[in-house]
Structure 1
Amino acid sequence: MLVVNCMDITECSNELYEEVRHMVSEERRVKAERFHNLDDSKRCICADLLLRYGLYQKIGQVGDIDITYNEFGKPFIKNMKDFKYNITHSGKWVAIVYGNTDAGIDIERIQEGREEIADFCFSEEEKLFIYNKADKNEKIKQFTKLWTMKESYIKFLGTGFSTNLDSFSINALEGVITSNDGEVRKDIKVRSLQFDTDYYLSMCSMEDEFCIQSIKLDEIIKLLNMK
């Protein structure tokens, strides 16, 4: 079963941020400090904290995490074959999915101004799904849903945007992926749900079951202070 842990970064006050940024690796702290926007720094640190918390849930301990990357930048932990993970963030939310098998996850806030992207990188079937909605707000919501579904798939693949978004189509109702040459990916599926009213959260994996948990920052602080 896949586990999805989500954290609301609005719980991370500026004072708490000064505390928790010392609980992550030096590499992660340096990365966080490069951001000019404090919320970006908080998302960076909270993503690492969620990874550490997920490791504890999975194997019962947290030590040094040796992260490496594939040629497209997808991270994985060295010498840990049974812990696959993927991280996403948008607005106030940071989320991680983890399990024994590869997975991709994406979260996006529902907001207008991006729907025209569909004309360039969505399939005809996907565009119909969006533009057949009479209500403008519904079009924005369905665009966001499809966008997160497509992103979760390329994050599952671990290829990033080297896989063109218009090279495949996703049935937004069934989560089935079809490549442009007609091949149907029967081994994987994309699941999507409206999350916290104004976000969409999508996951792509071979697993049939998943659970979503909202993790409080103070839970993680207490755990890491015990280590």
Structure 2
Amino acid sequence: MLPKYSCVRWALDLSQWRPTLAELSLATACLQAEEKARLMKFYFRDDFDASLIGRLLMRKFVRDTTGIAYDQIRFERDGRGKPFLVNSVLGPCRIDFNVSHQGNYSVLAGIVERSIADEPPVKIGIDVMKIEYSGGKPLTEFFRLMTRNFSDAEWRFIRSRQSEAEQLKAFMRFWCLKESYVKNVGVGITMNLQKISFKVKTDDVAKGKVVQDTVLEVDGNLLTNWCFEEHLLDEQHSVAIAFENLGKMADEGTFKVLGYEELMEGALPLMEKDNSYCQRVLEKQYKRFQ
């Protein structure tokens, strides 16, 4: 018997991907027209690449988990701009997914539910952050400016770390958790983040280990219908996944890092390849990975 839930966690290292014109022409032909137009608005090439990979991760996830033909998959955006599959309820199954990109990675987390009768849908949010600070000010001053974004309990944990590097890692850990939550509920980080307070039971997140015992309080109330996962893709990239209505964690899987060839296996173009469009993309400048 198949488990009630199954979860996918994928990442692609953008710093290892420098597409040829042929690769870029195929990749952009596998997008919907409005997605392709939206991507061209990015000024920097690495933002373009990261968003492109995010869209392709979504298509691969839907194709692999639902059996919908690649060129029949259709995404739209809700009122908050979050992409969703037009038909996310498929017979006895239901899916949800979310993407994020920052630093060297684009990431996707997706979940498949089975036996969904009369149960609220499981919703998912994900965030990835590069563990770095390049703001110019001392880290203590940066923390002071960010005071209202964390609860007193979170700041106590951050400042209890022994070095600035460990404090920054803890800061990014909480920031990832908060972003995964607000992306799931769709309110953005305009809400009062001090009211969102995470309680960590595992002191540190290590590569190859999954932390699943962190809990959330909002306005002092424990949210029992939420579960969180924390991952370290490498020593510089932290990831958090927020699950609503899951009940218990689907599994203890770690992230699978895909290459471009695996991402595009079985991909089918939705439109004609456009070398003129891709030449304009290739003229965009990178702001990192130099």
Post-superposition Cα deviations, 1:89-127, rounded to whole Å, max 9, x if no partner, equal 012200111113211100000012454454121000001
Cα RMSD (Å) = 2.0
Gaps of 5+ in 2: 1-5, 113-121, 136-141, 202-212, 271-290
Q: Which residue of 1 aligns with 2:102?
A: 90
Q: Return closer, same or farther for 1:71/1:117 CA change in 2, 3 Å cut-off.
A: farther
* Displacement of 1:203: 0.5
Deviation of 1:175 after TM superposition, in Å, equals: 1.4
Larger Rg: 2
TM-superposition CA deviations, 1:57-111 (whole Å, max 9, x none) = 2012323333233332222112213121111001220011111321110000001
Cα distance in 2, alignment partners of residues 58 and 117 from structure 1: 43
Aligned length: 226
Please give the alpha-carbon distance, in whole angstroms, between the structure 2 residues aligned to 1:115 and 1:57: 42
Q: Give the aligned partner of residue 196 of structure 1.
A: 234
2:118 aligned with 1:102 = no
TM-score by length of 1: 0.91
Distance 1:145 1:25 in 2: 34
CA distance in 1: counterparts of 2:145 and 2:228, whole angstroms: 21
- For 1:175, the equivalent position in structure 2 comes to 214
Structure with a larger share of its residues in helix? 1
Unaligned runs of 5+ in 1: none
Question: Identity over aligned residues, as a percent?
Answer: 21
Q: Secondary structure at the match of 2:48?
A: helix
**Once the two structures are superposed, what CA deviation does each residue of 1:138-179 show, in whole Å capped at 9, x if it has no partner?**
001000011001111111212223432122201133311111
Q: Is the 8 A contact 2:71 2:269 kept in 1?
A: no
1:208 to 249, 261, 269: 249
- CA distance in 1 between partners of 2:144 and 2:12 (Å): 30
Residue 29 of structure 2 contacts residue 269 of structure 2 at CA under 8 Å; is this kept in 1? Answer: no
33-42 or 17-26: bigger deviation: 17-26
Matches within 5 A, 1:17-166: 17-60=24-67, 61-81=69-89, 82-100=94-112, 101-112=122-133, 113=135, 115-116=143-144, 118-166=146-194
Q: Which runs of 4+ in 1 moved over 6 A?
A: none
Name the CA distance, whole Å, in 2 between partners of 1:225 and 1:69: 22
Does the 8 A contact of 1:104 with 1:204 survive in 2?
A: yes
- The alpha-carbon deviation at position 226 of structure 1 amounts to 9.4
Write the distance in 1 (CA, Å) between the matches of 2:83 and 2:237.
24
Q: TM-score, normalised to structure 2's length? A: 0.72
